[in-house]
Chain A
Amino acid sequence: MGWAIALHGGAGDIPFSLPPERRQPREEALRHCLQIGVGALQANMPPLDVVELVVRELEDIPHFNAGRGSVLTNKGTVEMEASIMDGRTKKCGAVSGLRTVVNAISLARLVMEKTPHIYLGFDGAEEYAKEQGVETVDSSHFITAENVERLQHAKEASIVEIDYSTHPLQNGTKKVAPIAANGDCQLGTVGCVAVDSKGNLASATSTGGLVNKMVGRIGDSPIIGAGTYANDHCAVSATGKGEAIIRGTVARDVAAMMEFKGVSLMEAADCVVHERTPKGTVGLVAVSAAGEVAMSYNTTGMFRACATEDGYSEVAIWPAS
């Protein structure tokens, strides 16, 4: 036993040919966020605070699809959503449809701790944010040139993409992003799970959603049991195709398998990802009360990082070859 932490920056069809100038900043960012999380756990910060801290950091980094760097709706706007869960108490908080809140995960936490509710969305959530005095900025802060291009590309191809990470244009020629047969390019969402040496668990997930999504579309990230879950067995944060994660109640299922079938974290994670959810749609990070880590995905890759108290740490995108 001991503490453990895992975080992700999205699972999807991340091509092996991802150019260094797009790969390295993301790897650096994952390393940076991991260090922040590890430092916090070493300083005995409660896991709930750790996951919020790390996800705030991931939201602020424009390379991932959350906070700044969120993908755009079909109207070219951002609508961000997030959820957080404290495994010890099973209290949870969630938000959707945010346009100006700099850190969605922190607003989710406030909903959990300061309101009689669990989940606030859209105008009501924005109003609450203003009441609470959380940091808000003009919506344009979240929009990156990369995502404007992605939306353009998606509209031209008339597809709703989760995201893609290849450079859309090279040398002036239009390069078609590698898309799976079902028309989805998959990358998106950030998340973090953590456990301390006493077995207290927490999970947090945040996202901008799907490229070219309908305004008002809610995905799995703010849905407890789908994108986020934590109890006294494990903490899970999922990423991928929201609709598949919702119907698969992915995060809850990992915990349910551990609890009801008595399987290990790794077995539960692998089973849910590889046997119970369609290929190419999901990835997740999870930690158990005993300090184990699992990072499973059935997509080409998943931006991820993890560390455990015994000194192990890893930053990766694709499977170890």
Chain B
Amino acid sequence: MGGWAIAVHGGAGVDPNLPLERQEEAKQLLTRCLNLGISALRSNLPAIDVVELVVRELETDPLFNSGRGSALTEKGTVEMEASIMDGPQRRCGAVSGLTTVKNPISLARLVMDKSPHSYLAFSGAEHFARQQGVEVVDNEYFITPDNVGMLKLAKEANTILFDYRIPTSGYETCGSGVESPLQMNGLPISVYAPETVGCVVVDREGRCAAATSTGGLMNKMTGRIGDSPLIGAGTYACNVCGVSCTGEGEAIIRGTLAREVAAVMEYKGLGLQQAVDFVIKHRLDEGKAGLIAVSNTGEVAYGFNCNGLFRGCATEDGFMEVGIWE
């Protein structure tokens, strides 16, 4: 009991035919981020700073769907959103509709710390970013060739995609002709993978924090807001735990998923893993999602009801694990 714990994720719902080299790349990124968080925790950085630090790293790397490498809107642009929550006083900050801010999670942090509000969006958020002097870049910076290709595919299918990380060269070998029976949001999983990113941490003082960041759904309507910036849905932290979710946004919002983990701990007295299992099993109806969580007593847990969750976790006693599948 006690001691720090950390978990990171890069999205729930993974194509079972994902090429091994992509799986390796993902695991390496998760490992790197975990190590970043671990050394910060060893230097006694507070939980809230650690989650921000780690999510910044995930945003900067183009692999997953946040910051650079974000999924594209129907107009071919990027609109990013994020939220962060500090358990001890349940302070929170969130942003949506960002188009030039290099690290959305840091702007969410500034909303929490430096504004009278909890949530800023679109041009108001961009304006605040400039007032605060955060790093801004052209929208093109966030757009990767992979995602441009995916948007084309999505439009051809004339449907909403969550994400798709397999590059066209890999697609021939693993995607075409392979009928995947697995579906998410009514689409074959070979064309779905949300790859939202998140981090949850409890530090040595027992303080929990959570942070989530995403580019959202591929081919989404402009102005569409998902679960990631919504406190209680994609992100939640309080005295007892910190939670970050990923998956089908609608299911996460309807299920107020992140809050649910804390609620069953508080109101039903469940332990962390029990709470995570309960929520995944009973709160998702037909929805597909995953989440990572830490408790104020230094535990870490994750759960998902789809076929994979890009994740990594570590605790102070030396436990460390990075995984994708069950």
Contacts from A to B (Cβ < 8 Å): 90-92, 94, 96-97, 115-125, 127-128, 160, 210, 213-219, 223-226, 229, 242-243, 246-249, 252-253, 256-257, 260-261
Chain B 225-262 interface 0/1 with A at a Cβ cutoff of 8 Å (1 = within): 11000111100100000000000011001111001100
Task: Determine which of B91, B222, B259, B268 lies in contact with A252 in the assembled complex, contact meaning CB atoms within 8 Å.
Answer: B259
Of the residues B223, B226, B250, contact of A123 by C-beta under 8 Å: B223
Bound-state Cα–Cα, A253 to B116, Å? 24
Q: Does B272 touch A at the CB level, under 8 Å?
A: no
Q: Cα distance A257–B264 when bound, in Å? A: 9
A122 x B123 contact (CB < 8 A): yes
Q: Give chain A residues whose Cβ lies under 8 Å from the Cβ of B122.
A: 97, 121-123, 216
The contact of A124 among B120, B224, B230, B264, by CB within 8 Å, is B224
Across the interface, do B223 and A125 meet the contact criterion of CB distance under 8 Å?
A: yes
Q: Is the CB of A249 within 8 A of B249?
A: no
Q: Please give the distance in Å from B215's CB to the nearest CB on chain A.
A: 15
Assess whether B281 is interfacial by the CB under 8 Å rule: no
A90 touching B285, Cβ below 8 Å:
yes
When the two chains form the complex, which single residue of A127, A224, A246, A256 contacts B267, counting CB atoms closer than 8 Å?
A256
Measured CB to CB, the residues of B under 8 A from A are 85, 90-92, 94, 96-97, 115-125, 127-128, 160, 217, 220-226, 230-233, 236, 249-250, 253-256, 259-260, 263-264, 267-268, 285
* Of the residues A96, A118, A223, contact of B231 by C-beta under 8 Å: A223
Q: How far is the CA of A94 from the CA of B231 in the complex (A)?
A: 14
With A218-B121, A224-B233, A225-B233 already in contact, the answer to whether A120 and B224 are too (CB < 8 A) is yes
Contact A247 B92 (CB under 8 A): yes
| CB neighbours of A116 from chain B (8 A) | 160
List B contacts of A90 (CB < 8 A): 254-255, 285
Across-interface contacts of B124 in A (CB, < 8 A): 214-217
Residues in B neighbouring A246, C-beta threshold 8 A: 92, 118-119, 231-232
Complex CA gap A121/B97 in Å reads 8
A122 to chain B: closest CB distance in Å? 4
Give, as a whole number of angstroms, the nearest-CB distance from A71 to chain B.
14
A217 CA / B96 CA spacing, docked (Å): 10
Of B122, B127, B225, the most chain A CB neighbours within 10 A belong to: B225
Contact of B223 among A91, A127, A215, A226 (CB under 8 A): A127
Known contacts A122-B97, A122-B121, A214-B117; is-contact A91 B254 (Cβ 8 Å) = yes
- Give Cα A154 to B225, complex, Å: 30
Question: How far is A219 from B90 in the complex, measured between Cα atoms in Å?
Answer: 16
Sample of 11 more A-B contacts, CB < 8 Å, known A124-B222, A128-B223, A214-B117: A117-B225, A121-B96, A122-B121, A128-B221, A213-B117, A214-B124, A216-B125, A218-B120, A219-B118, A243-B118, A260-B264
Knowing A128-B221, A247-B118, A248-B90 are in contact, say whether A224-B256 is a contact too (CB < 8 A): yes
Q: Does B256 contact A115, Cβ atoms closer than 8 Å?
A: no
Report the separation of the CA atoms of residues A129 and B176 in the bound assembly, to the nearest whole angstrom: 38
A119, A214, A242, A252: the one within 8 Å of B226 (CB): A119
Known A215-B124, A216-B125, A261-B267; judge A120-B232 contact (CB<8 A).
Answer: no
Known: A216-B125, A248-B90, A256-B267. A243 touches B97 (CB 8 A): no
- Establish whether residues A247 and B91, one from each chain, have CB atoms under 8 Å apart when the complex forms: yes
Q: Which residues of B contact A249 (CB under 8 A)?
A: 231-232, 236, 256, 259
- Are the C-beta atoms of A115 and B121 separated by less than 8 Å? no
Chain A residues lying within 8 Å of B96, measured Cβ to Cβ, are 121, 218
* Residues A217 and B223 in contact, CB atoms below 8 Å apart: no
12 pairs from A and B in contact (CB 8 Å cutoff): A90-B255, A117-B226, A121-B97, A124-B223, A223-B119, A224-B232, A224-B233, A224-B254, A252-B263, A260-B263, A260-B264, A261-B267
Q: A121's contact among B160, B223, B259, B285, by CB below 8 Å, is which?
A: B223
In contact, A256 and B263 (Cβ under 8 angstroms): yes
Set of chain A residues within 8 Å of B125, measured between Cβ atoms: 216
A91 to B250, CA, bound (A): 8
Q: B118 touching A242 by the CB < 8 A rule?
A: yes
Pair B121/A216 contact, Cβ less than 8 Å: yes
Closest partner residue, chain A, to B120 (CB atom): A216
Q: How far is the CA of A257 from the CA of B267 in the complex (A)?
A: 7
Q: How far is the CB of A305 from chain B (nearest CB, A)?
A: 28
Given A216-B123, A223-B232, do A247 and B90 touch, yes or no (CB 8 Å)?
yes
B303 to chain A, nearest CB (A): 18
Bound-state CA distance A59–B255 (Å) is 28
Give A125 to B122 CA distance when docked, in angstroms.
12
CB contacts (< 8 Å) of A261 on chain B: these are 267-268
Give the CA-CA distance A97 to B116 in the complex, in Å: 18
B264 and A217 contacting across the interface, CB-CB below 8 Å = no
Give the CA-CA distance A125 to B96 in the complex, in Å.
Answer: 13
Closest CB in chain A relative to B239 CB, distance in Å: 12
Complex Cα–Cα for A120 and B220 (A): 10
What CA separation (Å) do A209 and B167 show in the bound complex?
Answer: 44
